[in-house]
Structure 1
């Protein structure tokens, strides 16, 4: 189920609210699709695709690797409110909170660095428990003023 909304509030002239939400299978294919859908959605909104595409790739990979419960989908949601893009990935493993592993803590491991990348790319990130058994990991990216201006003109 894909939900897509674009609206301009009359109470806040010139401010736009946009959102996109989709449920995806908790598989590597679902994680790849999350990134592809994000890039395409941002392109359709006339917004920069980076670093959001990479952030979604990392959060979706975590959802299907660490937050996977067989038979339960994960949800990707994108919000644009004023000059902020908020990315949310909700999975069904609320009993397993995300853990930021310090650089070098896993030796030469090729995994376990996703949240370090999210922390480096996002302006803010965090997580919140949801209705049991869910949790949402989120990241926010403040958009450059020229991108905000160009969206208002379209």
Structure 2
């Protein structure tokens, strides 16, 4: 099984931005935790972060993954091009947010990508990514049989 973990704008600044909202972990620590979880589960992980919408769209359009775990950052709230790219991808899609976007500013409570994702995990910090990976592996065993794919 191969999972694409996408992170949008400003997520590369984890650890130095609004720690009361996003926690104290850095982007490198997030990457390491995801890579450890994927190694533990026997999953190939492709991690990608960009502050540029088109780069994220291009990465999704490769469509060579079984699942996409995405934290689109601020693009969550207005990027129809990202939504359309996700809609083209027929594999499992899970939206993740470090903070609870529904308990923050009103504009953050709307996600244009949720409708094309299987589910959304919000407010659980770094753990949300790990839960999304667990779910993707679980779903793949149902689809592909034991062994994950």
TM-score, length basis structure 2: 0.32
Q: Quick check: which one's helix share is greater?
A: 2
TM-score, length basis structure 1: 0.31
Q: Quick check: which one's strand share is greater?
A: 1
